[in-house]
Every structure is written in structure tokens, then in C-alpha cells.
């Protein structure tokens, strides 16, 4: 028997498996903080959704792989430029300052600034 494709699956962003995307998200969050079996019990208690500890394990591991890939991609995107051949400065100048700013509801908060410079 051929696998059937329901046209709304893509439009609704449904993921593989019997759980809706939000249910998968809740299950993986729970499984990050407790054993897989306990996470499935909590999902059933909170949402009335039954699943297995194997489903919890697979979803959590898949999410971990996705998070690791996103972390690596973000690190590559935000990586610092390669160091230059210039030697590090012998002396630096530091200047710290703070100021109070007004927030909503007549609250105040301190903003701190640090400037680092090189002596020339």
C-alpha cells in the first residue's frame, strides 16, 4: 500500500509522527529535565496525550541534533576575524561610566559602559 500525503500537512507544518508540533515541543522540553518515561507520563497528565518513552527519546535526540547544528552555524556566522600579525599592545586604557535612565512607570535603571583603548 502506498503512503498517502494529505495536502494540509505541509501548510499546517505537521511533523512526522502522531504528535502535533506543539505536543512534540512540549515533550522534548519535558524530556530535557526528566527521564523519558516520566516525560511521557507528564505529557499525558498535562495534555491528555499518550506516547511512548521511545518516541520521547527519538524526538529529544532529533531536537538535540538540530540545536547542535544551529549552534555551530551561529558560531560560524558570529566568529571573530582571524588574528592579525600585530603584537598585542603593552598597555591599554579602560574607561568605565554609568548613567541612570528612566524606564516606564517612573522606574530607573543603571546603564554601564566600558571603553577599551590602546595607548599610542
- Give the rounded percent of residues in the chain with a pLDDT score beyond 70: 82
For residues 38 and 30, what is the distance between their CA atoms, to the nearest angstrom?
A: 8
Residue 36 has a CB neighbour count (10 Å cut-off) of 20
What residue segments make up the domains of the chain, in order of their start? Answer: 8-77
Query: What's the pLDDT tens digit per position in 5-28?
Result: 566 666 665 566 678 888 989 999
Distance CA 54, CA 42 (A): 15
The mean pLDDT of 27-55, rounded to a whole number, is 93
Q: What's the start-to-end Cα distance of the chain, in Å? A: 77
How many Cβ atoms from other residues are within 10 Å of residue 58's Cβ?
A: 14
Task: Examine the pLDDT at 68 and tell me if it is beyond 60.
Answer: yes
**74 pLDDT tier (thresholds 50, 70, 90):** confident
User: In the 8-state DSSP scheme, what is residue 15?
Assistant: P
Would you list the DSSP string of 43-69? Answer: HHHHH-----HHHHHHHHHHHHHHHHH
In tens, the pLDDT along 91-112 reads 889 999 999 988 888 889 999 9
List of residues 6+ apart from 14 with CB closer than 8 A: 8, 20, 21
Amino acid at each position: 500500500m502506498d503512503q498517502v500525503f494529505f495536502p494540509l500537512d505541509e501548510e499546517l507544518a505537521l511533523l512526522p509522527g502522531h504528535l502535533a508540533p506543539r505536543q512534540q515541543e512540549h515533550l522534548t522540553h519535558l524530556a530535557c529535565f526528566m527521564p523519558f518515561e516520566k516525560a511521557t507520563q507528564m505529557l499525558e497528565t498535562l495534555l491528555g496525550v499518550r506516547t511512548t518513552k521511545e518516541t520521547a527519546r527519538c524526538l529529544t535526540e532529533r531536537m538535540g541534533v538540530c540545536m547542535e547544528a544551529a549552534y555551530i552555524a551561529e558560531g560560524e556566522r558570529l566568529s571573530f576575524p582571524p588574528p592579525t600579525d600585530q603584537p598585542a599592545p603593552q598597555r591599554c586604557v579602560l574607561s568605565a561610566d554609568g548613567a541612570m535612565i528612566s524606564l516606564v512607570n517612573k522606574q530607573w535603571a543603571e546603564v554601564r559602559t566600558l571603553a577599551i583603548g590602546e595607548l599610542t
